[in-house]
Amino acid sequence: MCGVRVLGIDPGLRITGYGCVEDAAGATHALVEAGVFRLGATRTAGIPDRLAELDEDLRALLVRVRPDAVAVESLFAHYAHPATAIAMAHARGVILLNIRRAGLRLVELRPNAVKKFIAGHGHAGKGQVQAAVRGALRLAAAPSPPDVADALAIALCAAWRLRG
């Protein structure tokens, strides 16, 4: 798929990173937009409030960047932090519902596959992912916070896979 626009999303209940890239000629990609949704500005904001915020922010983003496909990390759980997977599942549910409602193509990617694609190995650290994304998109500085770099890495990996 040449000329495809892919939105990558790094789900979270406090910070959700997003990054949209457009697949250009050859192996180059252009940055369309990237940032984070900071959910629940107050410590008292509960999960339903954060999910409603995420829903509203994501709807606006989909209208603004008009992606052809949306890529999201698949759900994973670390044995030492099982509650993290549950929290991320809430955010993923809102994201997946919005993708479905918008009629967009969904690409789900394992975190280790994204890291291997962008940084060369599946256990790359945050700094390595940031540096690799910076190089891949020829940015003046590494994307920050790391959630933005993760989302851009997801988008780049999905664009590569969609290219076939």
Write out the catalytic residue numbers: 10, 73, 147
How far apart (Å, rounded) are the C-alpha atoms in residues 52 and 68?
A: 24
Q: How far apart are CA 99 and CA 157, in angstroms?
A: 18
Q: How many CB atoms lie within 10 A of CB 44?
A: 7
Beta strands in the chain, from DSSP E residues, in sequence order: 5-10, 15-23, 29-38, 69-73, 105-109
* Of 56, 58, 2, 53, the residue nearest 27 (C-alpha): 2
